[in-house]
A = this chain, B = another copy of it.
Amino acid sequence: MMTKVKVQPLLVNYKTLEEFKRFKEYGHQELAMFEDLQSNIVENDSESPFFGIYFGNALVARMSLYRVSKKYDHYFQPPQDYLELWKLEVLPDYQGQGFGKALVDFAKSFQLPIKTNPRVKSHNFWEKMGFQKAMYDVERDLGENPLIWLPSGVEEREV
Within 8 A of B (CB), among A39-56: 49
Chain B residues near A138: list those with CB within 8 A: 29, 49, 66
Closest to A146 in B: B28
Say which residue of B28, B49, B120 sits within 8 Å of A27 (CB atoms). B120
| Interface SS of A by simple majority | mixed
How many A residues are at the interface, by size bracket?
20 to 34
Chain B residues near A141: list those with CB within 8 A: 28-29
A39 → B minimal CB distance (Å): 13
What is the 8 Å Cβ interface bit string for chain A, positions 5-37, against chain B (1 contact, 0 not)? 000000000000000000001111101100000
**Interface residue? A133 (CB, 8 A):** yes
A76 → B minimal CB distance (Å): 16
Say which residue of B25, B26, B32, B134 sits within 8 Å of A136 (CB atoms). B32
Within 8 A of B (CB), among A125-156: 133-136, 138-139, 141-146
**Interface residue? A80 (CB, 8 A):** no
Chain B residues near A25: list those with CB within 8 A: 120, 143
Say which residue of B64, B117, B143 sits within 8 Å of A87 (CB atoms). B143
